Amino acid sequence: MAMQQQHLDKMQLRQNYRNLWHTDLMRTIQADTSYCCFALWCGPCVSYLLRKRALYNDMSRYVCCAGYMPCSGRCGESKCPEFCLCTEVFLCFGNSVASTRFLLQDEFNIQTTQCDNCIIGFMFCLQQIACIFSIVALIVGSEEIQEASQLLSCLADMVYCSVCACMQTQHKIEMDKRDGVFGTQAMAVPPAQYMSRIDQPIPPSVGYPPQPAYGQPYAPQSQGYPAPGYPQPGYPQPGYPPTGYR
């Protein structure tokens, strides 16, 4: 019961985050078409790569489902994190995508827009409706309802795969921004205690520049960024992250 309340409190806190995703879900295909196609056809592989990149390629930070599930920390991650991550992305693909999303949101105080929430909510509702139709078809035995349930299930699967691909592309673009791919200064690796966990309070200010409306230019780093409290030049210690971690 206490764990459920912590999850609800954390979800409430995310509504108060001040930053926005660099690209919303509606524009991810346009922003990076090739990667979106890659995420659509090779979802688990992309999930593995993105989680590892979200951890700055430091697998000693890895916890199953990023610490958001009851199984987190109980799957032998410290002994074989790569194998555990492979198992997570293949057996719990949806959770792996959501966990990476929460990890980035909590690290950089990124809120989810109403449009993104509507798309994700529609995906879940369609899956529930398809499930209800399948149950009704089994009980009634109607051939018409059975065909309708199959069509709904197929549509729900298509929407699920498409939304997950867009979400993963959104995560990739956000980490491109974080790592300076867009020509801005790359952000330093946060200390281990800054990485997202469900039992943490509101994440500290990490110096993520407030994001203007979509399509507008971003404020340069010289305008008061990073924010106070974000690791200044000289952090982390020399030699970390490893050279070429991207």
Summarize pLDDT for 145-197 with one digit per residue, the tens: 888 888 999 999 999 999 999 999 999 999 999 988 876 555 566 655 444 44
Please report the DSSP string for 79-100 in residue order.
T-HHHHHHHHHHHSHHHHHHHH
pTM of the model: 0.71
Burial of 118 (0-12, 13-18, 19+ CB in 10 A): exposed
Residue-wise pLDDT tens digits, 47-104: 999 999 999 999 999 999 888 888 788 888 888 999 999 999 999 999 999 999 999 9
Q: Name the pLDDT band for 11 (thresholds 50, 70, 90).
A: low
Distance (Å, rounded) from C-alpha 160 to C-alpha 106?
Answer: 24
Q: What is the mean pLDDT of the chain?
A: 77
User: Which residue shows structure tokens 């991810």?
Assistant: 28
C-beta of residue 93 within 8 angstroms of C-beta of residue 44: yes
Q: Give phi and psi for 111, each to the nearest 5.
A: -90, 160
Q: Cβ–Cβ contacts within 10 Å for residue 52, how many?
A: 19
178, two tokens: 């974080």
